[in-house]
Amino acid sequence: MGLSSNTHQVTSACMVVSIVAPGGKVLRRSFPEEVHVSVGRDLRSHVVLPSHHVSRKHIVLRLTAEKIEVQDLSTAGTSWGEEMIHQEKRIFDVQNIELKVGPYQVRVQSTSRKNQSVEQRRRVHHRLLDRLQLEKRCVEGPPSDELRKEVLEALSLIVAEEDLQIPLSSRKRMVTELADEALGLGPLEALLADPQVSEIMVVDPHTIYAERSGLLELTGRSFTDDEAVRSAIERIVTPLGRRIDESSPLVDARLPNGSRVNAVIPPLALRGPCITIRKFPEHRMRMSSLIESGSLSARMARFIERSVALKKNIVISGGTGSGKTTLLNILSASIGSAERIVTIEDAAELNLEQPHVVRLESKPPNLEGKGEYAIRDLVKNALRMRPDRILVGECRGGEALDMLQAMNTGHEGSMTTTHANSPHQAISRLETLCLMGGIDLPLFAIRRQIAQSIHLVIQQSRVTDGSRRVTEISEVLGVGEDGEVELRTLFLLSPDSEGRLTHRATGFMPSFLPELSRQYRSESQEIF
């Protein structure tokens, strides 16, 4: 039986923008078709070019029907060879162009890739299942070498069958991809193995993004169909005792290596099942790694490490994917080895080196809606476990009030994270979360509790070049005359005279400077 006439090809197109800086450094980013990509000096641009010779919004690029559209919005214009594009729109019916924007070379390339027919892949997959009866063979954990060899041999024979009409040049790749799909996580396997990839985002079966060096790019990889994505999700969540179905269409989980996974399926996900994987680093990061990458200065690192050692309560604030958990993990190394630590998380990510660590993880309800243990339940229980310190992966509900009470009742040096864009917003968010705790407390009492419990707020942000940096360290001073919680900024990331982002001390000293002086007076280094 030949291929049916409705067999179709899935084509993914993207625009690759490469920026060559004056020093020769190259920045490369990929964008999907039809996206309007802004290039300019403005920090909100898709591609930021930090030069006074570049307008705030210099050009807008778009790929449409494999044509490259360039719209100039600048005051100085954009060079294309010997021609100047100024305050106009040009459409180039070519695969790539090279522009000159201020001191930067901007190369724009159109790329497209035709994947193997979805129907072909589906038929090969079904024949594999029938031939080896994989659905009846329980494969828990990594597949055995014998099973993988058996699957590869069977696929090699199937793709060569005449009625499938699969080109010889496509067979080897299809065999590898379908073997991964049948036994593992399909096209995600190669991305998980790539040490440069920090995050993987499956938007739909045929649209998969990856983050490299803080920048997103379209990978060109794809699953066969929705069912293949669902199978990958099941392989992740089933060994953990979690479930995902129409009655419970989203789930948080983790991979065996600790990487965090979030999955959503229809009816919540309109384009089909989607997966987000935050990869767990292969090697434990140290504070020295953050200093080398410019995430913070050596002086800032020394200050917050000593603050942890002095048992100051710390909240790490930041947006999604800004590196809050990574920083919390690194700061935990400054906790003494003789202390008893309890960690509480939705999906366990923290990996502490100390010998006396109790790790707790929340549990969703079962099919009957029973057996749920939320973060707040675990925080309350942790208080009965005689901890020296409590580390909560993230405060996102009423557990914030319990955490503050723990910080203020003999569990100094505790730490947590929360979603906010600045230290002031972090305090406001904690106020809101405490109000969600179900206890009828006036706002003033909550603010006083926050002021008495928290010593430092560390703001972690993802800046325009994709890097994750500490942008502010503030001390909580107390409740002011206006009834608001007062903060004092100790360190700040701000532009220098040349427009480069630089960490600097504000000149204010922490109120606990005498403690620092007493503890570290024998050292020749700066106290603060």
What's the mean pLDDT in 409-428? Answer: 91
Q: What is the DSSP string of 305-370?
A: HHHHHTT--EEEEE-TTSSHHHHHHHHGGGS-TTS-EEEEESS------SSSEEEEE-B---TTS-
255 shares its domain with 172: no
Structure confidence at residue 202 (pLDDT): 93
Structure confidence at residue 117 (pLDDT): 65
List pLDDT tens digits, range 119-174: 778 888 788 877 777 655 544 555 677 888 888 888 888 888 878 778 787 788 88
List pLDDT tens digits, range 269-284: 988 899 999 887 767 7
Is 525 part of any domain? Answer: no
Structure confidence at residue 10 (pLDDT): 47
> Given pLDDT bands bounded at 50, 70 and 90, which one contains residue 411?
confident
List pLDDT tens digits, range 196-220: 888 999 998 888 888 887 777 788 7
CA 493 to chain centre: 21
Asked if 379 and 255 count as a contact pair (C-beta separation under 8 A), the reply is: no
Is 192 part of any domain? Answer: no
> Given pLDDT bands bounded at 50, 70 and 90, which one contains residue 522?
low
419 shares its domain with 444: yes
Q: Specify the range with the lowest mean pLDDT, choosing from 309-313, 388-392, 437-441.
A: 437-441
What's the mean pLDDT in 56-72? Answer: 90
Confirm whether pTM is higher than 0.75. no
Pairing of strands 468-479, 485-495: antiparallel
Is 8 part of any domain? Answer: no
Question: Taking CA 14 as the corner, what is the angle to CA 11 and CA 18, rounded to the nearest 5 degrees?
Answer: 150
Here the CATH number for the domain that contains residue 69 is: 2.60.200.20
Structure confidence at residue 142 (pLDDT): 58
Is 304 part of any domain? Answer: yes
Domain of 424 in residue numbering reads as 287-519
**Domain C-terminal end among 282, 311, 332:** 282
Average pLDDT along the chain: 85
Structure confidence at residue 31 (pLDDT): 81
Asked if 115 and 206 count as a contact pair (C-beta separation under 8 A), the reply is: yes
List pLDDT tens digits, range 4-37: 334 444 455 678 888 888 877 777 787 878 889 9
Residue 449 predicted with pLDDT over 60: yes
Domains identified in the chain, total number: 4
250 shares its domain with 329: no
> Which helix or strand (DSSP H or E) is residue 207 part of?
strand 207-212
